[in-house]
Amino acid sequence: MKGWQFTKTHEPLQLVELEDPKAAPGRVVIDTKAVGLCHSDVGSLEDEGWMALMDAPVIMGHENAGVISEVGEGVTDFKVGDRVAICPTGPSGTAPGYVYDGGFGTKIHAPAEDLVRVPDELSMEMAASATDAGMTSYSALFNVGQAKPGMNIALIGIGGLGQFALQAAVAKGSKNIYAADVSEKARELAKEIGAAEVVSDIKDLADKDLDLIVDYAGFGVTTSDALEVVKPGGTVVLVGMGKLETTINTTSFITGAKRLLANVGGTPQDIADIYELMAAGKLNPKLTKIKFEDIPEGIEKLKAGEVQGRLVAVYDGDE
């Protein structure tokens, strides 16, 4: 197998060739068909704070979908040939691309308990994109944020994650849902999806009496501004990790009885819910496809803000 391996921060990914994994008890071997590229991949390569999460050296890639090629002892729910995706925050408590080799490699040795079946009608790139971008955005908005129709909601960052959340909210009947993004292309996408109003700065939505703001960017100032803008008693959910630190105005935060919550990942059921919306045609995220050999270049494009929607590497002609 081949893979793009992370060694340490500030070092480029290394293309390595390793012995193919063998399925251990309770695990399966998956032939990777598609893997999403995430801004957290950029962070891992640029910010030393990520080293605490990485069992380096490790092949990166935590948004994975593929076909099972080998099943280990004790695995009864899946068989060779099954189309599956991996929940990166699943029951095993281990994450591909961080704790074990992920989808920037051509094969993945994954815990069976973290798998989700991919419906036949979904492409592998759609399935991969839902495992983090879809799952995390969905969980942050509906599970942690408790979003419901009738609430005034704003989303910061209509990129890889935010576009999923916006589409899902519209599909579930939300009308008063707003979007903020510094990118003109992202703002255009938010308008196409159906946001009630789109702005470049969350502060421009201060008059909307916002019950909930979900920060899918997480660039420090986006979070602190969200806490200023959300109404007294309102909630901000932080998802994005564009920066690993932020500073907040504790006076307005405390006197306004506001809440700041965090969301990390989600569950296999969240991914299954996203797949249901996709299969029904209610969620169709914008994806940009690249090839396996272009993964390092793709990460650089993410870093430069040149990608609209979600960037996905597609393997073995599965385009």
| Count of Cβ atoms closer than 10 Å to residue 301 Cβ | 17
Tell whether the model's pLDDT for residue 309 goes beyond 80.
Answer: no
Give, in order, the Cα–Cα distances in Å from 31 to each of 102, 148, 270.
11, 39, 23
Label residue 119 by pLDDT band (50, 70, 90).
very high
pLDDT band at 272 (very low <50, low <70, confident <90, very high): very high
Q: How far apart (Å, rounded) are the C-alpha atoms in residues 141 and 5?
A: 32
Q: Checking phi first, is residue 298 left (phi over 0); if not, alpha (psi -120 to 50) or beta?
A: alpha
Tokens 């030393």 appear where? 48
**Residue listed under structure tokens 């908005």:** 141
Strands 310-314 and 27-37: antiparallel
Q: What is the pLDDT of residues 53-96, one digit of tens each?
A: 889 999 999 999 999 999 999 999 999 999 999 999 999 999 99
- Which pLDDT tens digit goes with each residue over 92-114? 999 999 999 999 999 999 999 99
Cα separation, 176 vs 76, in Å, equals: 45
- pLDDT of 213 > 70? The answer is yes
Q: Using the predicted structure, report yes or no on whether residue 180 has a pLDDT greater than 90.
A: yes
Say whether pLDDT at 34 is over 90: yes
Per cent of the chain over pLDDT 90 is 82
β-partners of residue 313 are 35, 290
| pLDDT given at position 319 | 40
| Element (DSSP H or E) covering residue 33 | strand 27-37
Give me the amino acid identity at 239.
Answer: V
pLDDT of residue 87: 96
Domains and CATH numbers, the chain: 2-132+267-314 (3.90.180.10), 134-262 (3.40.50.720)
Give the largest CA-CA distance in the chain: 58
Backbone angles phi, psi at 178, to 5 degrees: -115, 165
Query: 317: pLDDT confidence band, cut at 50, 70 and 90?
Result: low
Measure the CA angle with vertex 177, ends 176 and 182; round to 5°. Answer: 140
| Segment 282-307, tens digit of pLDDT | 898 889 999 999 999 999 999 998 88
pLDDT tens-place string over residues 236-259: 999 998 888 999 999 999 999 999
Q: What is the pLDDT of residue 132?
A: 87
Q: Exposed, middle or buried: residue 82 (CB in 10 Å: 0-12, 13-18, 19+)?
A: middle
Three-state secondary-structure class, residue 45? helix
Phi, psi of 70 (to 5 degrees): -155, 140
Strand ranges across the sheet with 153-156: 197-199, 177-180, 153-156, 212-215, 235-238, 259-262
Tokens at residue 226, please? Answer: 């969200």
The order of strands in the sheet holding 58-59 is 14-17, 2-6, 58-59
Which residue blocks in the chain are alpha helix, DSSP H? 39-46, 124-129, 135-138, 162-171, 184-193, 221-229, 250-255, 268-279, 295-303
Q: What is the pLDDT of residue 244?
A: 85
Task: Give the pLDDT score at 112.
Answer: 98
Buried b (16+ CB within 10 A) or exposed e, 202-214: beebeebebbbbb
Q: Which of 288, 266, 231, 236 is nearest to 114 (CA)?
A: 266
CA distances from 7 to 15, 47, 51, 56 (A): 11, 13, 10, 6
